[in-house]
Chain A
């Protein structure tokens, strides 16, 4: 066991990357519609035609499923999982608390709350808006909700107790309660049809994946990661405590603001497009820290990889277990993450005592 552990700890990047690739290769082959090698070649033709602007032809049913349904969904699950993992790692380092996650800050709830309000209050307005724009209305509302929560968190926490992370955490909990109450009120006011849309946001699903979303997430995630790698050392300093970090020259206030904006962007976008997917943001960075220790230079990229892997596995289970029906993905994020988590905690206990 310890030898395996040593091997695993030696090259975590490599191990996680390889597992992710393997999982992708397996996941792309399984699904309700069987795909053959011929479908892959047909898909290449489909890509070529799409590139030429000819969207009317479809070489085979399997290739259509591969290109338009399965591939964007797989990639989106990896990207959303990575976003959740990264925002979870950021939240945990900000609060210096391994149990923190965007959900705790009220970011996810704020996004879902804004979506719920839009569904219930603007139901009539949505009918007037152009159908093309309507598809973007809810994601936009959810994202704005996440941003509003994040910025009001910042200012409220400063107003309650300046500079205190504990105050921020408590404000987050209060935000959560507030957003929860508004969602509850919306659920009460909603009619059957609205309730249906509401349940999507609370259950979470990757079923609507499109290439456009994949591109959007890839862009945001890459930008976020690039920006954050430049302040990764200061994140490590933050682990010493806010006062200590300030004493060694870290602009704690600016750092905190930066982290909060990125958490809002990453978690808010995830909720905006896929609804509330729980557990990944909590479990991925926590597992990584148990695995490689607290160095943010390793934790951030590994939390992204692990988050992506977790959500990919969970979503693959969600879409294949009950074929031809589908099971909400949130059930599997907990089912996959939970036991894994227990095992790791157990192993760490064994090592330290």
Chain B
């Protein structure tokens, strides 16, 4: 977005132009024209892939002036100035975008930098970062409130709720009907054969697995921990779950299947590996319900 690089002398005309652009862009899509102008006068920095997705879902992308490095969807989000990694923000960097509002999740930091940004007059809204559907609802409502698009957010939420209900029913139906035990799945981050991390409790991956009616093959620890070949054999996963980005970094499907010990598990013998886009699978943004469904279907097919 080249319009963010104008000099301060041109602020006025720029704001007008922005407002005009915003109206043009948003009017055809919005059911609430009165809130469009309010959103256009805001300058929002969105820190968090899920939050940026919600901003675009609410058709308020024109209020954005900056995003963080996890905001990679939709692809037009990547055109905005990037304030870097959400956990290593720079106060001056964020302030240089002259934001009126900064949207963050609880994961953003460091806290001192957030305090500095708030002290400079930008309003910081912190939204929950949990891995639950309720959290997604709170994020949608929170972003809607900040952008003064609560009505649109409410409409989106009803759609999300409807989709979610369908997904839940579908997952419930298939898991209760099938007589077999739930699929044992291992979520693997293997950037090199020497360092294989798997997801335990309180991770986005485990939350997605349980929503999709699957069973995390490793239990008894929190977060991501290294896995030994023996641990892998003991876990006996029916299927491996990876992110597409992780798969690429590891060197493709072949490399994943070469993991020591994997050939001693059902997943290795049947070469069952499911790969999904990282932000879609683990981002807990607005695509989460359909991602649960896609994951469920992919795991059923294994």
Taking Cβ atoms with an 8 Å cutoff, the residues of A that contact B are: 31-34, 58, 61, 64-65, 68-70, 135, 188, 190-193, 195-196, 199-200, 205, 207-208, 210, 319, 322-326, 328
Residues of the B chain whose Cβ atoms lie less than 8 Å from the Cβ of A190: 223
Residues of the A chain whose Cβ atoms lie less than 8 Å from the Cβ of B85: 325
Cα–Cα distance between A10 and B8 once the two chains are bound (Å): 46
Contact of B95 among A32, A200, A208 (CB under 8 A): A32
Residues of the B chain whose Cβ atoms lie less than 8 Å from the Cβ of A69: 91-92, 95, 116, 120
- Whether, in the assembled complex, B202 has its beta carbon less than 8 Å from a beta carbon of chain A, the answer is yes
- Whether, in the assembled complex, B168 has its beta carbon less than 8 Å from a beta carbon of chain A, the answer is no
Among listed B106-114, B158-166, B171-179, B238-246, interface-contacting one: B106-114
| Given pairs A64-B120, A196-B107, A207-B112, 15 additional interface contacts (CB within 8 A) | A32-B92, A34-B96, A61-B98, A64-B121, A68-B120, A69-B116, A188-B225, A191-B202, A192-B224, A196-B87, A205-B88, A208-B112, A324-B66, A325-B90, A326-B88
Residues of the A chain whose Cβ atoms lie less than 8 Å from the Cβ of B82: 324-325
B1 to chain A, nearest CB (A): 13
Known: A65-B120, A192-B223. A324 touches B96 (CB 8 A): yes
Is the beta-carbon distance between B121 and A323 smaller than 8 angstroms?
A: no
> Which residues from 215 to 234 on chain B have a C-beta closer than 8 Å to any C-beta of chain A?
222-225
A92 to chain B, nearest CB (A): 32
- Whether, in the assembled complex, B119 has its beta carbon less than 8 Å from a beta carbon of chain A, the answer is yes
A336 to chain B, nearest CB (A): 19
- Whether, in the assembled complex, B258 has its beta carbon less than 8 Å from a beta carbon of chain A, the answer is no
Cα–Cα distance between A199 and B86 once the two chains are bound (Å): 13
Cα–Cα distance between A325 and B119 once the two chains are bound (Å): 19
Is the beta-carbon distance between A319 and B92 smaller than 8 angstroms?
A: yes
Interface centre among B8, B85, B112 (most CB of A within 10 A): B112
- In the complex formed, the residue of B with least CB distance to A58 is B121
B245 to chain A, nearest CB (A): 18
Is the beta-carbon distance between B90 and A32 smaller than 8 angstroms?
A: yes
- In the complex formed, the residue of A with least CB distance to B83 is A324
- Whether, in the assembled complex, B94 has its beta carbon less than 8 Å from a beta carbon of chain A, the answer is yes
Is the beta-carbon distance between B93 and A324 smaller than 8 angstroms?
A: yes
- In the complex formed, the residue of A with least CB distance to B224 is A192
Residues of the B chain whose Cβ atoms lie less than 8 Å from the Cβ of A191: 202, 222-223
> Which residues from 177 to 221 on chain B have a C-beta closer than 8 Å to any C-beta of chain A?
202
What are 12 A-B interface contacts by the 8 Å CB criterion?
A: A33-B92, A34-B8, A34-B96, A64-B120, A69-B116, A205-B88, A210-B112, A319-B92, A323-B93, A324-B82, A324-B84, A325-B85
Residues of the A chain whose Cβ atoms lie less than 8 Å from the Cβ of B222: 191
Residues of the A chain whose Cβ atoms lie less than 8 Å from the Cβ of B66: 324
Cα–Cα distance between A58 and B112 once the two chains are bound (Å): 20
A55 to chain B, nearest CB (A): 9
Is the beta-carbon distance between B90 and A324 smaller than 8 angstroms?
A: yes
Is the beta-carbon distance between A208 and B110 smaller than 8 angstroms?
A: yes
Cα–Cα distance between A326 and B91 once the two chains are bound (Å): 9
- Whether, in the assembled complex, B69 has its beta carbon less than 8 Å from a beta carbon of chain A, the answer is yes
Interface centre among A32, A34, A135, A205 (most CB of B within 10 A): A32
Q: Kindly supply a per-residue 1/0 record for chain B positions 94-108, scoring 1 wherever the CB is within 8 Å of any chain A CB and 0 otherwise.
A: 111110000000010
Residues of the A chain whose Cβ atoms lie less than 8 Å from the Cβ of B96: 31-34, 323-324
Is the beta-carbon distance between A324 and B116 smaller than 8 angstroms?
A: no
Is the beta-carbon distance between B87 and A31 smaller than 8 angstroms?
A: no
Known: A322-B84, A325-B82, A325-B90. A207 touches B95 (CB 8 A): no
Residues of the B chain whose Cβ atoms lie less than 8 Å from the Cβ of A326: 84, 88-90, 93
- In the complex formed, the residue of B with least CB distance to A200 is B110
- In the complex formed, the residue of A with least CB distance to B97 is A324
Residues of the A chain whose Cβ atoms lie less than 8 Å from the Cβ of B110: 200, 205, 207-208
- Whether, in the assembled complex, B81 has its beta carbon less than 8 Å from a beta carbon of chain A, the answer is yes
Cα–Cα distance between A32 and B92 once the two chains are bound (Å): 6
- In the complex formed, the residue of A with least CB distance to B202 is A191
Cα–Cα distance between A328 and B115 once the two chains are bound (Å): 20
Residues of the B chain whose Cβ atoms lie less than 8 Å from the Cβ of A205: 88, 110
Cα–Cα distance between A35 and B119 once the two chains are bound (Å): 18
